[in-house]
Amino acid sequence: MNTKERRELLLSILNKSTNPIKGDELANILNVSRQVIVQDIALIRATGVDIIATPQGYVIYNTKMSSKVIECRNHTDEDEFYNELKTIVDLGGKVKDVIVKHPIYGEIKVDLDIASNRDIDKFMKKASSDEFKQLSTLTKNSHFHTIEAKSEEILDEIISSLLDKNILANNSKK
């Protein structure tokens, strides 16, 4: 397979995937080094394709997805934290990021890209370590998430469930 064919196949793999794919995994599939994948991604990006690097791997930004920013109450324990993520994912949503508004530093945003129970489990395992501090602990107020789903109807169902579980701050959506 030549370079052009490899990049076309790489783009096809990313287009078909609904979840991020790690560079090492792409390298194994295409039988090249991870560095070659990094170079190919850079060249594909230069053509205008919006490929995003997340902690879970590479993903093509899908403009067909519906998204909303929701404001959530800060968690009092890990169970509430887990329940918030699980509610969103179980109903077909993806937690794109977490945003806090700090009185001095302003808005702090971190990409999460949590789209499956496996992602939640990995994240919660990291979150249970002693070195981990939730961003929401930087403020006494609420935090925000950008959530994505395949349709507005799914987003509405997620928001309704979060409201029912008293997860949303002030029981409202932004």
Contact 34, 27 (CB under 8 A): yes
Residue 8 known to bind ligand: no
Q: Would the annotation count 102 as a binding residue?
A: no
Q: Is 145 annotated as a binding residue?
A: yes
Q: Which residues of 108-126 are buried (b: 16+ CB within 10 A; e: fewer)?
A: eeeebbbbeeebbeebbee
Query: What CA–CA distance (Å, rounded) separates 46 from 23?
Result: 18
Going by the DSSP 8-state scheme, the letter that residue 75 receives in this structure is P
Q: Is 107 annotated in some ligand binding site? A: no
Q: How far is CA 141 from CA 65, 72, 74, 174, in A?
A: 29, 9, 7, 15
Residues placed in the known binding site for Ni(2+): 75, 84, 143, 145
Sequence ranges of the binding site: 75, 84, 143, 145
